[in-house]
Amino acid sequence: MTQFSIPLEVRFLRVPTEWEIRPPIEAGNTSTKRMFIPTVTNGPYSHLDGWSLRDRFLKLPHEEDAVLDFLHDVGLWATRAISTGSPDERYIVKGDPGGVVSVRPQIAMPVILRRFWQAQEELREFLINPKLWEERLFAQNQQDKDALAPVAHILYLQPLPLTMEWRGNQPIGAIKVTTAEELLAATTHIDLIRGAKFKVCERPDCKTPFPILSGHARKYCDWYCGHIESVRRTRMKAKRQRKDAHHGTKTRAR
């Protein structure tokens, strides 16, 4: 096996896509799953910040409107190759008319809400303890892909499209990411390659994993969580001072 090193560049791209919620349809004792349906629209691809979108995914509240806004901003959630038949044109991803990336025609996949939340929870767990998840995944039946957890599809079965480019005499490897699944896989693998260790945000109502890439100590995933906790500590301190002052006044009155 030949091995060599070249610079690697990751480009996160948004495919123009609109999303709508399909409500469950009751049919006797059964109902369809709550789903988000994509429609691929015309227009050039735009660039995204992959890491900020992963952080946003990990923080999303369990609200349908929050999921819908996230899907609108990220574009595609996942795609699959066209195998047989003639699928609806609304779901076909043909490539970028602006020339940023060219792909074979793919089908834009819908999102089942339950699986979306499952993927979020599992990715949070994986970032905190990746070795545990590897043990779980290898213990499963690898032949039955549909039975695998969502995080397995994202991190282990999601191929990242790598192409070679030249800048003068310098070759580079370019990963062109066009779906949320690819985005989550690429940012996670790159962080682990860089030796990142993930810590849980100490804000009790956040607890989002965030990467530590330096020796700088951090308690919170971002400035906002640190600010919220600072405000809470200040208010608690003021409340204790008022309580102590009130108690002292009552003692003196006796």
Rounded to whole angstroms, the Cα distance separating 15 from 132 reads 34
DSSP 148-169: S-HHHHHHTS----EEEEEETT
Neighbouring residues of 240: CB distance < 8 A, sequence distance ≥ 6:
none
> Residue 136: pLDDT band by 50, 70, 90 thresholds?
low
Residue-level pLDDT at 253 = 57
Q: Which residue ranges make up each domain of the chain? A: 8-199
Residue 17 has pLDDT above 80, yes or no: yes
Tokens of 75: 């574009």
**DSSP secondary structure code for residue 28 in this structure:** T
- The torsion angle over the Cα atoms of residues 163, 164, 165 and 170, rounded to 10 degrees, is 150
Higher pLDDT, 122 or 83: 122
Tokens of 173: 């490897």
> Residue 1: pLDDT band by 50, 70, 90 thresholds?
confident
Choose the weakest-confidence range: 27-31, 88-92, 225-229.
27-31
Distance of CA 83 to the CA centre of its chain: 27
> Residue 137: pLDDT band by 50, 70, 90 thresholds?
low
Residue 243 has pLDDT above 90, yes or no: no
Tokens of 65: 């409107």
Distance of CA 106 to the CA centre of its chain: 21
- Average pLDDT of the chain is 80
Residue 98 has pLDDT above 60, yes or no: no
Question: Environment class of residue 12 by beta-carbon count within 10 Å: exposed (0-12), middle (13-18) or buried (19+)?
Answer: buried
**Pair type for strands 170-177 and 8-14:** parallel
Residue 30 has pLDDT above 50, yes or no: no
Neighbouring residues of 17: CB distance < 8 A, sequence distance ≥ 6:
38, 39, 40, 41, 71, 72, 75, 76, 108
What percentage of residues in the chain have a pLDDT greater than 70?
Answer: 76
Residue 89 has pLDDT above 80, yes or no: no
Q: What is the pLDDT of residues 164-180, one digit of tens each?
A: 889 889 999 988 889 99
Q: What is the pLDDT of residues 191-204, one digit of tens each?
A: 888 888 888 888 88
Choose the weakest-confidence range: 51-65, 113-127, 143-157.
143-157
Higher pLDDT, 93 or 214: 214
Q: Residue 243 in contact with residue 237, Cβ under 8 Å?
A: no
> Residue 183: pLDDT band by 50, 70, 90 thresholds?
very high
For tokens 């969502």, what's the residue?
A: 150
pTM of the model as a whole: 0.78
Residue 205 has pLDDT above 90, yes or no: no
3-state class (DSSP) for residue 13: strand
Tokens of 204: 């009790």
